[in-house]
Chain A
């Protein structure tokens, strides 16, 4: 069975016969340019090539176009046949370099900070006081105060607080959209603002109604500035402790202390499952809970300046002789006399709470709601029951229980009454305070007090959506799901009430009950509903068909696990006229784009020319191919030259030069390689031991897949002058080698892909494809990657150089006097710093060629002198058994495609389909009939490379030639091939 993912097809705009464009939209920084004939474009539309090239256009710092060549097809991340030039220089924090984050929100958009307090985005500016920078109409400010906003950590799959280093505002200059979700959230943002969907980040302009977007159902309470009231003037502390407390800004403690929100939250939890006591004169703070929740608390203690330890132990219990079960309990401890004193002076009871009188601290009662909320959320995290339903759809009363010795039961009641008054002032009603007796403790009889909160939906929405739970991830998540569910339920009810109104209207209009049923029945109302409301006026109820909370929760929990967020459906997207300022916060620290994991190993092609003619070798093709097969091993697990690690370092550093130094090939071969066979930036020490281990035994081997060594002859010349410069004439025998850096290059890519991911976890959620992860400019990993990639490219050049020489030796075994020279050697998969002209200016760019060939036009100094007048040779292998081509680079490719062109025929059929449709044996026989000898490592490998699995290379070349991004020089026909 084949499973195809459905997506809206992309319809590019036609520019001329062979040029198409996907116009810039949403978060694309540039349009995407496609070089294709109509026929080729049809193939591209069949897979994800066009989606992928569009994704490339989202990369920050990209110049002019994201380009796809005529041989383009689906890859991963980048499409194969993709070219992109990305700016090298725009480092630092210039808005141009930040690119990715300048997507704008309307000023009244609510942002929830790390404390669960909400701010209008425009007010957040007041936190950014220090520096200001203006350019291109942007105002950019940096943050030197502690402000974190709640954001999705895609690694941990949960919401976390992240610092906001930058704040930006500018005049709105793009279409602004109002997006309303089913639960009534409204977001006003510019069309290029990325929004998280199940398919990754999508610019708002590309969202559609009914699509689901990540939604946080936690609203929090609005921020108001705090007065500088003194809460704790001084504490009895030793000299050292006093220095520490004053140094950490904890003494004197004022209400507007930046650490107060954390203290309030911690205090709330300690009032529940915590204990503060003194053993002798040493103060200690303990809290009990789940390990992961205590870890969060530990972080909070750390930000106050205190180190907490967590102890976990698993104990086995037996209750009433039943099967024993084990339970893990965790405890957090902080040893600090000063902190114990501080907490006690903030109202924390000392020692056992059951037999003590205490109340909600009076300073909490006088604080603004957002501080009160933090105390309550902490307390609820320890003490309040989790949201749960009694029936399918109705929630239980949230409950808080507390045991009190009878001697202090009145104080316990007073504490609950304070809580009640506090909650009611925040909009949550209390249902009841009850008292029952509980088992006595050693202090005497004990009463169990219960505070039942209202289970009315409006109250639950406030309780779960605005107050919530702290230090209790599970309950906080359940609360969010409960809020989503309550919105869902309200929506269903609203629809039913609306339907009920329409039943009465239809009745008034004289419709019969049956007729009214026909008009109205859908998924929210059934025939029975219409009947009931047709004959009697009754209030609408939630129907039995409505999804139960349990089932709703299962779906949402699955999303939370997978995405770290839950989703809400878009109900309406509307354009809004908006001409004020728009705002954005920048949650990451690094932006500029340099290197990314999109570069796979550095495969390439080398073309050798001989002074033999087709007629000379006609009868010796089979023995020649056998010699190639013997001397240039193919397939898995074969070794040709086993170098030691010291030598391998030299290979990585010197590339093809190492081969020449060790007796493989000549100086003349070297001159005729792109980069003369070695990239200077190579840093072998940046290649991992794993990669070296894979590469060590693979030097001078071809590998597998589409790699090969092919014996060819020149069938036709199209450009006499260029052919002459390249030393090519009709009937001449040539050899083409296609292979790369083997396991070493692939391992290097994997290593750095994983490393970049680890270092930039935030990035993954922002990118449409995890494979597109990149390293920020100037970062160590970016630098390391470039050094390692160049080293891997050097390995590839050395590999082809050695193979070229082995081919030469093979030919000389049969034709001792034949001359075999290198025409040229080019890389297909590489990122290089090059100078190009963009809008009349010379810029340094990283040109990424992923399955594309460099095709420099005449005159460039990078081209060997003997070819410089005609332009760089471009070698394009066809599929097995079909023609290959030699072309030359042009002025046009410099202007249009950053000196790049196609690299091959381009697959159009999957390998699995090819192996189903073709048999290796048949292909070999067919090709033999055409006079082409094939020798391969496996039949299946040959079937996968069936000629029909590829686009017609001639069509690709025609398109390339017509576009002028390389011009035809000669067509080569195969006589025999060794397949990897």
Chain B
């Protein structure tokens, strides 16, 4: 199976690429790529469910808002992701249902301070979607 995401070199921050057969799948994998910088999502129990919606003006800003929402959830609700259970995109509006847990008792590697637009792209390549993003650590 192809890997859902991978990390790239970036001097100061964390850069990743996430893949998916659909745009939705690529977005889901981008969320996983992001959370695995913070912790091992495999070890986070799917105990809490959360739903949110973001609307951007294009795909990039929708991605920015989507990932930024996670930074917000970690800081304000100490939420750690297990996975994005459902995700639908309609135009530039994205709805997501997440499952995860609060961070108490989890091994946290580092915190993400902020989302960035640096080197961001969303592309369709060889029949799959590729998302690249850099987060500020």
Which of A's residues lie within 8 Å of B, judged by CB?
1-4, 47, 73-77, 80, 155-157, 558, 561-562, 600-601, 635-637, 690, 693-694, 697-698, 703-705, 743, 746-747, 749-750, 753-754, 757-758, 761, 769-771, 907-913, 937-938, 940-941, 944
Establish whether residues A771 and B116, one from each chain, have CB atoms under 8 Å apart when the complex forms. Answer: yes
Which of B65, B74, B137 makes the CB contact (< 8 A) with A911? B137
Cβ of B117 within 8 Å of any chain A Cβ, yes or no, is yes
Which of B12, B15, B64 makes the CB contact (< 8 A) with A75? B12
For A698, the chain B residues whose CB sits under 8 A away are 75
Q: Give CA–CA (A178, B69) in the complex, Å.
A: 47
Establish whether residues A911 and B13, one from each chain, have CB atoms under 8 Å apart when the complex forms. Answer: yes
For A770, the chain B residues whose CB sits under 8 A away are 60, 117, 120
The list of the 6 closest CB pairs from A to B, nearest first, reads A76-B118, A940-B109, A746-B114, A704-B111, A637-B78, A770-B117
For B12, the chain A residues whose CB sits under 8 A away are 73-75, 80, 907, 910-911
Establish whether residues B9 and A913, one from each chain, have CB atoms under 8 Å apart when the complex forms. Answer: yes
Cβ of B49 within 8 Å of any chain A Cβ, yes or no, is no
Establish whether residues B114 and A601, one from each chain, have CB atoms under 8 Å apart when the complex forms. Answer: yes
Q: Give CA–CA (A3, B117) in the complex, Å.
A: 18
For B113, the chain A residues whose CB sits under 8 A away are 600-601, 703-705, 743, 746
List which B93-120 residues lie within 8 A (CB) of chain A. 103-104, 107-111, 113-120
Establish whether residues A769 and B118, one from each chain, have CB atoms under 8 Å apart when the complex forms. Answer: yes
Establish whether residues A944 and B110, one from each chain, have CB atoms under 8 Å apart when the complex forms. Answer: yes
Establish whether residues B108 and A635, one from each chain, have CB atoms under 8 Å apart when the complex forms. Answer: yes
Which secondary structure dominates where chain A touches chain B?
A: mixed
For B74, the chain A residues whose CB sits under 8 A away are 636-637
For B64, the chain A residues whose CB sits under 8 A away are 750, 754
Cβ of B72 within 8 Å of any chain A Cβ, yes or no, is yes
Cβ of B10 within 8 Å of any chain A Cβ, yes or no, is yes
Establish whether residues A155 and B103, one from each chain, have CB atoms under 8 Å apart when the complex forms. Answer: no
List which B58-105 residues lie within 8 A (CB) of chain A. 58, 60-61, 64-65, 68, 71-72, 74-76, 78, 103-104
For A769, the chain B residues whose CB sits under 8 A away are 117-118
Known: A757-B61, A937-B108. A771 touches B118 (CB 8 A): yes
Number of cross-chain contacts by CB at 8 Å: 132
Known: A77-B118, A694-B72. A705 touches B110 (CB 8 A): yes
Cβ of B30 within 8 Å of any chain A Cβ, yes or no, is no
Beyond the given pairs A2-B9, A76-B136, A757-B61, 13 more chain A to chain B contacts, judged by CB atoms under 8 angstroms and listed by A's residue number, are A74-B10, A74-B12, A600-B136, A636-B74, A698-B75, A770-B117, A911-B137, A937-B108, A938-B108, A938-B109, A938-B110, A940-B109, A941-B110
Cβ of B53 within 8 Å of any chain A Cβ, yes or no, is no
Q: Give CA–CA (A636, B108) in the complex, Å.
A: 7
Q: Give CA–CA (A74, B120) in the complex, Å.
A: 15
Q: List 19 A-B contacts (CB under 8 A).
A: A2-B9, A73-B11, A73-B12, A75-B118, A76-B116, A76-B118, A636-B108, A637-B75, A705-B110, A746-B113, A749-B114, A754-B65, A910-B11, A911-B10, A911-B110, A937-B108, A938-B109, A938-B110, A940-B109
Which of A694, A757, A910 makes the CB contact (< 8 A) with B57? A757
Q: Which residue of A lies closest to B116 (CB)?
A: A76
Establish whether residues A705 and B137, one from each chain, have CB atoms under 8 Å apart when the complex forms. Answer: yes
Q: Give CA–CA (A913, B12) in the complex, Å.
A: 11
Establish whether residues A600 and B11, one from each chain, have CB atoms under 8 Å apart when the complex forms. Answer: no
Establish whether residues B114 and A911, one from each chain, have CB atoms under 8 Å apart when the complex forms. Answer: no
Known: A76-B119, A910-B9. A746 touches B136 (CB 8 A): yes
Q: Which residue of A lies closest to B113 (CB)?
A: A746
Q: Give CA–CA (A218, B65) in the complex, Å.
A: 35
Q: Which residue of A lies closest to B16 (CB)?
A: A912
Q: Give CA–CA (A749, B74) in the complex, Å.
A: 17
Q: Which residue of B lies closest to A937 (CB)?
A: B108
Known: A1-B6, A600-B136, A913-B9. A635 touches B111 (CB 8 A): yes
Q: Give CA–CA (A10, B114) in the complex, Å.
A: 29
Known: A73-B12, A698-B75. A750 touches B110 (CB 8 A): no
Cβ of B8 within 8 Å of any chain A Cβ, yes or no, is yes
Cβ of B128 within 8 Å of any chain A Cβ, yes or no, is no
